[in-house]
């Protein structure tokens, strides 16, 4: 059953709301998620609303430049990203959800290292886009 959660960055400049049934959390072993120590859940884009802070969000794209990682330009916190493997979903940093207790929710490790630009090194089971984005770079 979906519940409503609100969240924010550290300084509160970025605020968002999600509708989700959070039954699993994920980590990712890609170099970016490892460095930002991300613990995430995913929601469909229809279940995500940015309430405040569009003007202070910074966006970072790397590798194939498909995933869109968002950070607050004021405090530096990563609250969410648009997913590469499922472009119609957001990955939500559950540490940014107000009052959310993750202690009893199972955590699944996901593989991000194989989502490489080198075609012959990609995981054949991963069906996401394998071409560089044309977002304006």
**Residue 133 within a domain:** no
Q: How many CA atoms lie within 13 A of 97 on its CB side?
A: 22
* 129: in domain: no
CATH number at residue 64: 2.170.150.70
Short-list 80, 76, 83, CA closest to 110: 83
pLDDT of residue 17: 98
Q: What is the pLDDT of residues 55-79, one digit of tens each?
A: 999 999 877 777 799 999 999 999 9
Q: Is the pLDDT of residue 131 over 70?
A: no
Structural domain that includes position 47: 3-118
Residue 73 in any domain: the answer is: yes
- Asked if the structure places residue 60 within a domain, the reply is yes
pLDDT computed for residue 61 by the predictor: 86
Residue 26 lies inside a defined structural domain of this protein:
yes
Count of structural domains, the chain:
1
């Amino acid at each position: 059953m979906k519940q409503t959660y609100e969240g924010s960055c550290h300084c509160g400049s970025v605020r968002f709301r999600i509708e989700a049934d959070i039954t699993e959390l994920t980590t990712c072993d890609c170099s970016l998620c490892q460095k930002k120590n991300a613990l995430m859940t995913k929601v469909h884009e229809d279940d995500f609303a940015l309430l405040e802070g569009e003007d202070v969000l910074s966006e970072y794209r790397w590798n194939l430049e498909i995933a869109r990682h968002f950070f607050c330009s004021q405090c530096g916190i990563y609250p969410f990203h648009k997913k590469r493997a499922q472009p119609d979903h957001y990955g939500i940093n559950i540490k940014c959800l107000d009052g959310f207790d993750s202690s009893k929710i199972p955590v699944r490790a996901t593989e991000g290292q194989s989502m490489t630009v080198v075609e012959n090194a990609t995981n054949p089971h991963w069906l996401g886009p394998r071409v560089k984005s044309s977002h304006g770079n």
